[in-house]
Chains A and B, each alone.
Chain A
Protein backbone atom coordinates (compact mmCIF):
# COMPACT_ATOMS: atom_id res chain seq x y z
CA UNK A 1 0.00 0.00 0.00
CA UNK A 2 1.07 3.56 -0.66
CA UNK A 3 2.23 5.77 2.19
CA UNK A 4 0.93 9.30 2.05
CA UNK A 5 2.23 12.29 3.93
CA UNK A 6 0.55 15.65 3.95
CA UNK A 7 1.85 18.97 5.16
CA UNK A 8 0.74 20.72 7.20
CA UNK A 9 -1.06 18.18 9.35
CA UNK A 10 -3.19 20.96 10.77
CA UNK A 11 -3.42 24.73 10.60
CA UNK A 12 -5.47 27.58 11.90
CA UNK A 13 -5.83 30.37 9.36
CA UNK A 14 -7.39 33.76 9.16
CA UNK A 15 -10.27 34.57 6.86
CA UNK A 16 -9.15 35.82 3.46
CA UNK A 17 -5.76 34.10 3.47
CA UNK A 18 -4.67 31.08 1.43
CA UNK A 19 -3.11 27.77 2.42
CA UNK A 20 -1.23 25.33 0.24
CA UNK A 21 -1.40 21.69 1.25
CA UNK A 22 1.34 19.38 0.05
CA UNK A 23 0.84 15.69 -0.61
CA UNK A 24 3.77 13.32 -1.02
CA UNK A 25 3.36 9.66 -1.96
CA UNK A 26 6.09 7.07 -1.58
CA UNK A 27 5.39 5.52 -4.97
CA UNK A 28 4.47 6.71 -8.44
CA UNK A 29 0.74 6.96 -9.00
CA UNK A 30 -1.14 8.19 -12.03
CA UNK A 31 -4.38 9.23 -10.41
CA UNK A 32 -4.60 11.49 -7.39
CA UNK A 33 -7.83 12.61 -5.79
CA UNK A 34 -8.40 15.52 -3.43
CA UNK A 35 -11.26 15.27 -0.96
CA UNK A 36 -12.57 17.13 1.99
CA UNK A 37 -14.30 15.57 4.93
CA UNK A 38 -16.36 17.48 7.45
CA UNK A 39 -16.29 15.95 10.94
CA UNK A 40 -18.64 13.01 11.12
CA UNK A 41 -19.47 13.11 7.43
CA UNK A 42 -18.54 11.29 4.28
CA UNK A 43 -15.95 12.38 1.77
CA UNK A 44 -16.62 15.01 -0.84
CA UNK A 45 -14.46 14.89 -3.95
CA UNK A 46 -12.95 18.25 -4.85
CA UNK A 47 -10.98 17.30 -7.93
CA UNK A 48 -9.03 14.62 -9.74
CA UNK A 49 -5.41 15.44 -10.52
CA UNK A 50 -3.59 13.35 -13.08
CA UNK A 51 0.00 14.08 -13.91
CA UNK A 52 0.40 15.88 -17.19
CA UNK A 53 -3.13 17.19 -17.45
CA UNK A 54 -5.34 19.85 -15.90
CA UNK A 55 -7.20 18.87 -12.79
CA UNK A 56 -10.85 17.98 -13.20
CA UNK A 57 -13.12 19.68 -10.67
CA UNK A 58 -16.40 18.43 -9.30
CA UNK A 59 -19.56 20.45 -9.26
CA UNK A 60 -19.31 23.19 -6.67
CA UNK A 61 -15.54 23.44 -6.78
CA UNK A 62 -13.58 25.77 -9.06
CA UNK A 63 -9.96 26.16 -9.97
CA UNK A 64 -9.76 29.75 -8.75
CA UNK A 65 -10.74 28.66 -5.25
CA UNK A 66 -8.87 25.33 -5.17
CA UNK A 67 -5.93 25.44 -7.58
CA UNK A 68 -4.09 22.14 -7.83
CA UNK A 69 -0.64 21.28 -9.07
CA UNK A 70 0.61 17.85 -10.06
CA UNK A 71 4.20 18.28 -11.19
CA UNK A 72 5.15 14.59 -11.04
CA UNK A 73 3.82 11.15 -10.18
CA UNK A 74 4.60 11.35 -6.44
CA UNK A 75 3.58 14.88 -5.50
CA UNK A 76 0.61 17.20 -5.61
CA UNK A 77 -0.55 20.40 -3.95
CA UNK A 78 -3.97 21.83 -3.24
CA UNK A 79 -4.39 25.49 -2.38
CA UNK A 80 -7.41 26.73 -0.49
CA UNK A 81 -7.71 30.35 -1.57
CA UNK A 82 -9.39 33.32 0.05
CA UNK A 83 -10.51 31.15 2.94
CA UNK A 84 -13.71 31.55 4.90
CA UNK A 85 -14.91 29.65 7.98
CA UNK A 86 -16.96 27.41 5.68
CA UNK A 87 -13.68 26.02 4.35
CA UNK A 88 -12.86 24.53 7.75
CA UNK A 89 -12.55 20.82 7.12
CA UNK A 90 -10.13 17.93 6.79
CA UNK A 91 -8.50 17.90 3.37
CA UNK A 92 -7.28 14.57 2.05
CA UNK A 93 -5.22 13.55 -0.91
CA UNK A 94 -5.76 10.01 -2.07
CA UNK A 95 -3.64 8.26 -4.66
CA UNK A 96 -4.98 5.36 -6.66
CA UNK A 97 -2.50 2.64 -7.41
CA UNK A 98 -2.27 0.39 -10.46
CA UNK A 99 -4.46 -2.19 -8.68
CA UNK A 100 -7.27 0.37 -8.54
CA UNK A 101 -7.02 0.80 -4.78
CA UNK A 102 -7.15 4.21 -3.16
CA UNK A 103 -5.17 5.04 -0.06
CA UNK A 104 -5.55 7.73 2.52
CA UNK A 105 -3.30 9.47 4.97
CA UNK A 106 -4.25 11.45 8.04
CA UNK A 107 -5.05 14.55 5.99
CA UNK A 108 -4.79 18.22 6.82
CA UNK A 109 -7.13 19.60 9.46
CA UNK A 110 -7.89 23.19 8.56
CA UNK A 111 -9.64 25.67 10.81
CA UNK A 112 -10.50 29.09 9.43
CA UNK A 113 -11.30 31.83 11.90
Chain B
Protein backbone atom coordinates (compact mmCIF):
# COMPACT_ATOMS: atom_id res chain seq x y z
CA UNK B 1 0.00 0.00 0.00
CA UNK B 2 1.10 3.53 -0.67
CA UNK B 3 2.42 5.50 2.27
CA UNK B 4 3.91 8.90 3.04
CA UNK B 5 6.60 9.41 5.65
CA UNK B 6 7.48 12.65 7.33
CA UNK B 7 10.55 11.92 9.35
CA UNK B 8 10.49 14.86 11.71
CA UNK B 9 7.46 15.06 13.96
CA UNK B 10 8.66 18.17 15.78
CA UNK B 11 11.14 20.79 14.60
CA UNK B 12 12.22 23.82 16.61
CA UNK B 13 14.19 26.56 14.89
CA UNK B 14 15.21 30.11 15.57
CA UNK B 15 14.09 32.93 13.32
CA UNK B 16 16.21 33.32 10.18
CA UNK B 17 17.32 29.69 10.27
CA UNK B 18 16.95 27.59 7.16
CA UNK B 19 14.28 24.93 7.03
CA UNK B 20 14.04 21.57 5.36
CA UNK B 21 11.22 19.17 6.15
CA UNK B 22 11.47 15.68 4.75
CA UNK B 23 8.77 13.81 2.89
CA UNK B 24 9.15 10.39 1.29
CA UNK B 25 6.50 8.31 -0.39
CA UNK B 26 6.26 4.70 -1.46
CA UNK B 27 4.93 4.36 -5.00
CA UNK B 28 6.83 3.69 -8.14
CA UNK B 29 4.52 5.29 -10.67
CA UNK B 30 3.39 8.80 -11.53
CA UNK B 31 2.44 10.88 -8.51
CA UNK B 32 1.02 14.26 -7.67
CA UNK B 33 2.62 15.81 -4.60
CA UNK B 34 1.36 18.42 -2.18
CA UNK B 35 2.41 20.32 0.91
CA UNK B 36 -0.30 21.76 3.13
CA UNK B 37 0.11 24.03 6.13
CA UNK B 38 -2.13 24.40 9.16
CA UNK B 39 -1.48 27.49 11.26
CA UNK B 40 -2.63 27.38 14.89
CA UNK B 41 -6.40 27.48 15.04
CA UNK B 42 -6.78 27.65 11.28
CA UNK B 43 -7.74 25.24 8.54
CA UNK B 44 -5.48 23.50 6.11
CA UNK B 45 -4.10 25.58 3.25
CA UNK B 46 -2.25 24.46 0.17
CA UNK B 47 1.38 25.62 0.22
CA UNK B 48 2.51 24.17 -3.07
CA UNK B 49 2.02 21.27 -5.41
CA UNK B 50 3.86 19.28 -8.04
CA UNK B 51 2.16 17.58 -10.95
CA UNK B 52 4.80 17.60 -13.69
CA UNK B 53 7.55 19.73 -15.22
CA UNK B 54 10.23 21.55 -13.26
CA UNK B 55 10.90 19.44 -10.15
CA UNK B 56 11.65 22.57 -8.13
CA UNK B 57 8.31 24.04 -7.18
CA UNK B 58 7.80 27.42 -5.59
CA UNK B 59 4.84 28.05 -3.34
CA UNK B 60 3.42 30.78 -1.20
CA UNK B 61 5.25 32.61 1.60
CA UNK B 62 8.73 31.83 0.26
CA UNK B 63 8.42 28.05 0.48
CA UNK B 64 9.71 25.70 -2.17
CA UNK B 65 9.93 21.97 -2.59
CA UNK B 66 12.02 19.71 -4.77
CA UNK B 67 10.75 16.50 -6.28
CA UNK B 68 13.52 13.92 -6.55
CA UNK B 69 12.03 10.95 -8.30
CA UNK B 70 15.00 8.64 -7.69
CA UNK B 71 14.69 9.23 -3.95
CA UNK B 72 10.87 9.22 -3.84
CA UNK B 73 11.15 12.49 -1.99
CA UNK B 74 9.45 15.87 -1.97
CA UNK B 75 11.20 17.90 0.72
CA UNK B 76 9.94 21.31 1.75
CA UNK B 77 12.44 24.15 2.16
CA UNK B 78 12.59 27.76 3.16
CA UNK B 79 15.90 29.65 3.33
CA UNK B 80 14.96 31.89 6.28
CA UNK B 81 12.04 31.14 8.55
CA UNK B 82 9.95 33.63 10.44
CA UNK B 83 8.06 33.36 13.70
CA UNK B 84 4.83 33.36 11.68
CA UNK B 85 5.84 30.08 10.04
CA UNK B 86 5.00 28.28 13.27
CA UNK B 87 2.47 25.72 12.10
CA UNK B 88 1.96 22.09 11.27
CA UNK B 89 3.04 20.97 7.82
CA UNK B 90 1.57 17.99 6.00
CA UNK B 91 2.90 16.24 2.93
CA UNK B 92 0.34 14.43 0.76
CA UNK B 93 0.51 12.30 -2.36
CA UNK B 94 -1.97 10.93 -4.82
CA UNK B 95 -1.12 8.38 -7.42
CA UNK B 96 -3.68 9.51 -9.97
CA UNK B 97 -6.36 12.12 -10.19
CA UNK B 98 -9.11 9.69 -9.24
CA UNK B 99 -7.44 8.50 -6.10
CA UNK B 100 -7.49 9.74 -2.57
CA UNK B 101 -4.67 11.75 -1.05
CA UNK B 102 -2.30 9.77 1.11
CA UNK B 103 -1.25 11.95 4.04
CA UNK B 104 1.90 12.08 6.08
CA UNK B 105 1.70 12.29 9.85
CA UNK B 106 2.62 15.97 9.84
CA UNK B 107 5.54 17.98 11.22
CA UNK B 108 4.98 20.52 13.94
CA UNK B 109 7.29 23.46 13.35
CA UNK B 110 7.97 25.94 16.14
CA UNK B 111 9.94 29.08 15.41
CA UNK B 112 11.50 30.78 18.39
CA UNK B 113 11.47 34.58 18.11
> Please, which residues of chain A bring their CB within 8 A of the CB of B45?
104
Query: Does B97 lie within 8 Å of A43, measured CB to CB?
Result: no
* Count of chain A residues with a beta carbon within 8 Å of a chain B beta carbon: 18
Interface of A, helix, strand, loop or mixed by DSSP: loop
A107 part of interface (Cβ distance < 8 Å): yes
Closest A-chain residue to B46, C-beta based? A101
Contacts A100-B32, A101-B49 known; A45 to B43 CB distance under 8 Å?
no
- How far is B82's CA from A16's CA once the two chains are assembled, in angstroms? 46
B90 part of interface (Cβ distance < 8 Å): yes
B: contact size bracket: 20 to 34
Choose the segment among B14-22, B72-80, B98-106 that binds chain A (4+ C-beta atoms closer than 8 Å): B98-106
B51 part of interface (Cβ distance < 8 Å): yes
Query: Does B100 lie within 8 Å of A43, measured CB to CB?
Result: no
Residues 34-54 of chain B: 1 if any A CB is under 8 Å from the residue's CB, otherwise 0?
A: 101000001111100101000
Closest B-chain residue to A6, C-beta based? B43
Set A42, A48, A106: member contacting B103, Cβ < 8 A: A42
Instruction: Spell out A's residues near B (CB within 8 Å).
Output: 1, 31, 33, 40-43, 45, 48, 92, 100-107
